[in-house]
Structure 1
Amino acid sequence: MGKVATGATMSIDGYIAGPGDSGFDLLFQWYDNGDVEITTAMPGLTMRVTPASKDHLDEWNGALGSLVVGRHLYDLTNGWGGRHPLDVPVVVLTHRPPEDRPAADDNFVFVTEGIEAAVATAQEIAGDRNVGVNGGEMARQALDAGLLDEVHVDLAPVLLGAGTPYFPSLGIKPVQLDGPVKVVRGSGVMHLTYAVRK
């Protein structure tokens, strides 16, 4: 079984989105400020990053077997048009699965029984590969439940001032992490990996 890790691009003041789901243009500038092209599974979505960022992304994405996201992100992205850009199955934790989705949709699995069930489903799908947990509410729930092995931060040099924190309203605090166990310097981003102290 692989690792369970959360990862997000975060502002220096700790936000993964600004007020009203804004600020993504500032947070994700590093997706288009390099010379190395990365194609995704989403038509029309290509990133241009530095060689260091590409190596970092290739290492993590190459070991990724599934993702866990919340219904808010699923709706915000319109289900990524039917396939996540990382080309892996997505487990969506929700109180209310969408009624209009295709019955035989292998790209998305909707789970209503809580974060433990969502992560267990994602692990079953991933096999010996890693499970990625989206930042925000999903990361908070997974950390509170003791399910996370690592925290990945793509630190962007921007201050958003308010918005959605990476870990909103932790039920267990303080939480100590070990590391950073890995540091990669990109252009307009610092990739940091921390181990969750069990």
Structure 2
Amino acid sequence: MLSLPVEPTAHRIIIFPLTEFQNLHYVAGPDDDVSLVFKWMTSGNTNLTASKGDGDIELKVSEKSVEVFEEAIEQIGALVAGRRLFEMTHGWGGKHPVNAPVVVVTHRPAPEWVKADWPVTFTNSIESAIEQAKAIAGDKKVAIASTTILHQCLRAGLVDEIHVDLVPYLLGAGVRMFDTLDAPIELKSTSIIPSTGVTHLTFRIVK
């Protein structure tokens, strides 16, 4: 993932979702089906291992996508997620594939299955989540991984950068990404990386 330079003491809040071509609307199909959205991760010619707490994920992507993934791991210092995604992934087994601590926004107590040594924090607001994630990330970036959380952060003006992995499918229905904005948001394209089955796009939010 390519992005604008970051000063050592600055924080950049970024969105790191996956989506598809139809007006950048969908991050998943009906019933949370992500088979087409993630198909590019098994369509390349280069092996890539993404490690989670409950086991490795063996991927096959293009060399360019490997570079994007490795740069994301290097740059992201903390990740903010919603309760729904955290539970759907079972907390990534205690280790997210980008190998960064996770801050979960929720109004309920932590699930009983969360282990004490997992690098995860629970808080009840996006403002608190972003502040805690900034403190954890240090001079690295904070990534937002959940659709509902990114909606709230966009409306609150907390996002600096958007990274989109654009795949060539028209899902027609599913989980939408940008349909609850209060007003248009101007973007400036900073990076376009064509790859096998996906185009990696990065935009800076004009403020």
Both proteins in one fold, TM over 0.5: yes
Q: 1:100 to 1:135 in 2, by over 3 A?
A: closer
How far, CA to CA, are the matches of 2:102 and 2:114 in structure 1?
15
Is 1:141 equivalent to 2:152 in the alignment?
A: yes
Partner residue, 2:41: 31
How far, CA to CA, are the matches of 1:95 and 1:80 in structure 2?
20
Deviation (angstroms), 1:12? 0.9
Partner residue, 2:170: 159
Is 1:173 equivalent to 2:176 in the alignment?
A: no
Is 1:93 equivalent to 2:93 in the alignment?
A: no
Bigger mean CA offset, 27-36 vs 124-133: 27-36
Q: Which of residues 129, 138, 141 in structure 2 aligns to 1:118? A: 129
How far, CA to CA, are the matches of 1:63 and 1:57 in structure 2?
10
The answer to whether the Cα contact below 8 Å between 2:44 and 2:196 also exists between their aligned partners in 1 is yes
How far, CA to CA, are the matches of 1:37 and 1:80 in structure 2?
21
How far, CA to CA, are the matches of 1:102 and 1:136 in structure 2?
22
The answer to whether the Cα contact below 8 Å between 1:137 and 1:167 also exists between their aligned partners in 2 is no
| Regions of 4+ moved over 3 Å | none
Deviation (angstroms), 1:64? 0.8
| 1:33-63 deviation digits (Å, cap 9, x = unpaired) | 1122222222231221101111122222211
Partner residue, 2:81: 69
Unaligned runs of 5+ in 1: none
Deviation (angstroms), 1:8? 1.2
How far, CA to CA, are the matches of 1:190 and 1:154 in structure 2?
6
| 1:101-156 deviation digits (Å, cap 9, x = unpaired) | 456334211111x1111011111100001110014111111111111110111001
Partner residue, 2:5: none
The answer to whether the Cα contact below 8 Å between 1:135 and 1:166 also exists between their aligned partners in 2 is no
Aligned residues: 194
**For residue 139 of structure 1, what is the amino acid of its counterpart?**
L
- TM-score, with length taken from structure 2: 0.89
- TM-score, with length taken from structure 1: 0.92
The answer to whether the Cα contact below 8 Å between 1:178 and 1:197 also exists between their aligned partners in 2 is yes
Identity of aligned residues (%): 38
Deviation (angstroms), 1:2? 3.0
